[in-house]
Structure 1
């Protein structure tokens, strides 16, 4: 942050001048580096690579995906926060390194709001609420009633302490007055096994994980999107199940270092919004559990602040300690 403040106006002048050239305000000076703060192979990495492939020709350059996994995405966030604000290094942003990271008290080498320039709100992905087959519940209202009246807390799984699947369930726990207790896992696979065996009663998990678990023995009772998700159109939302305004998303956005000039931000937003609309990307979105968003940087920034406020309120009574 201090380094950013010390940048001189003289140093920014050539950058601003370059930003006036090229179609629609800016042309990249060589390959653009898209930092994906996760290991290769996951749904976020796949989305990032699809977007890089589709947006590169629109920008007239190559977009190189750089996987910077570690510390829940914080290493990738730090890479971009410390990069020059010239449009050549951008972040596939998620809550893991921005809003949830700060909400749970993780020590960050950057400020997730002030050290980045929001470019574009790319997409949303709901999570699904699952019930163990042994519970014999037909739908989400039945599961909620069971959890509300349980004489002993029902164990629920998450994919780790302080993850979105943990915080989403804690939010539902308070809002629907559920008698449940947290059992963290290191990933979805082991949690799935214990859910099917009845050792875990319920859990939230990403829609892609549900879509990949064909033949698994559990009940998908709800999703957390405002509207039903196309790939699971027969599954109602939690709002339909009677939890007013309950919505949660594993969102993805695009961010640049703080101080990136407006013409560069506008050009990147234009290119990636167009990339989301290509057949290459659209044909894969349902399988990735993703719905396109496309809101501009101002709307994305407002969402970030709201998301940070929400998860800070949810996490505060949990006293999470990770560092």
Structure 2
């Protein structure tokens, strides 16, 4: 009898705890939310994060505050988010290069993109584009591939640095097209583009928003976008995949919570994000920055992350890129 009473008391306590957690989740949020952005202010992720944070603040009835914690390719801010309390009051808005590439690129990564985080929603995608100085002889990607096959290691492409997404997009082109363009790393996309504009280096991969004004002004020639389909912001630019079947690689921005966050909270965040991304107002604001809104369930986002991790692990290994 006494054992039965203890068992019943334990069940009652568990039910009470569950009810308390459920009530807290239903009331969520009751205080401001911190959204960590592990990149510097002014970049694609920061711009997208601030647009989303403003929208979520209105929908959730609490301020969503963006905090930039850049460094080590996004590892510093991501580690800080991973160590936060799993209560829904610390979120991570990050990009695919940090979450999907860094685990293969860095010898030691202070977080696990799967074990440490709960996927909430993809937010936006931004294609890269392969551009050439107007003086470069190749006017199309097939012409470039033909020239590169005739002269391996002769033509060079610039990137924002070793192991960056635009570096690995070039390595993926080398591998899939059977060519060998020489990689020239820079400390950021701006100096890389400056040297392409000045014809010190003939080619570069860069995000479409950062280079579209130069394309429109005729200062560089676009040879192909990295996305699987043509960008709605530059529909005249063919995809690289139209010449090299199967080639695709976008920069995506996505929202994560800390692993262990109550399911009711992550569900509310996911549903709120889906409503926000379905709203034309937010979609138009993202489009104005050259970012195309993405939607998806947490399960779909988790599958997207895993597929990207697998793909980039192969490309990183082939490229030989490694960061201590």
Global fold match (TM > 0.5): yes
Equivalent in the alignment of 2:137 = 136
CA apart distance, 1:100: 0.9
Question: Of residues 219, 222, 239 in structure 2, which corresponds to 1:220?
Answer: 222
Structure 1, unpaired ranges of 5+: 1-11
Moved more, 138-147 or 158-167: 138-147
Shift of 1:77: 0.6
Stretches of structure 2 that go unaligned for 5 or more consecutive residues are 1-13
Q: What is the rounded CA distance, in whole Å, between the counterparts of 2:15 and 2:201 in structure 1?
A: 59
CA distance in structure 1 between the partners assigned to 2:78 and 2:269 by the alignment = 18
Q: Say if 1:201 and 1:257 are closer, same or farther in 2 by CA, change over 3 A.
A: same
Counterpart residue number, 1:150: 151
Q: CA deviation at 1:231?
A: 1.1
Deviation at 1:113, TM superposition (A): 1.3
Deviation at 1:55, TM superposition (A): 1.1
The equivalent of 2:252 in structure 1 is 251
Taking the TM superposition and a 5 Å limit, the aligned residue runs for 1:173-188 are 173-188=174-189
Question: What root-mean-square deviation, in Å, do the aligned CA atoms of Structure 1 and Structure 2 show?
Answer: 2.1
Correspondence 1:249-288 to 2 at 5 A: 249-288=250-289
Structure 2 contact 37–70 (Cα < 8 Å) conserved: yes
Q: Aligned equivalents of 1:275 and 1:246: distance in 2?
A: 31
Over residues 5-42 of structure 1, what are the superposed CA-to-partner deviations in whole Å (9 max), with x where a residue is unaligned?
Answer: xxxxxxx999854552379x452120111111112122
Q: Does 1:210 align with 2:211?
A: yes
CA distance in structure 2 between the aligned counterparts of 1:27 and 1:114, rounded to whole angstroms = 24
* TM alignment of 1:1-323, pairs within 5 A: 17-21=19-23, 25=26, 27-150=28-151, 152-213=153-214, 215=217, 217-240=219-242, 242-323=243-324
Aligned-pair CA distance for 1:303: 1.3
**Over residues 242-291 of structure 1, what are the superposed CA-to-partner deviations in whole Å (9 max), with x where a residue is unaligned?**
21121111011111111112211111011122222334422222232211
Tell me the distance in 2 between the aligned counterparts of 1:151 and 1:247: 23
| Secondary structure of 2:98 counterpart | coil
SS in 2 for 1:56: helix
Q: Which has the higher Rg, Structure 1 or Structure 2?
A: 2
Distance 1:81 1:15, change over 3 A: farther
Question: Using the alignment, how far apart are the partners of 1:77 and 1:263 within structure 2?
Answer: 23
More helix by share: 2
Tell me which moved more, 197-206 or 64-73. 197-206
Alpha-carbon separation, structure 2, partners of 1:201 and 1:249 = 22
How many residue pairs get aligned? The number is 310
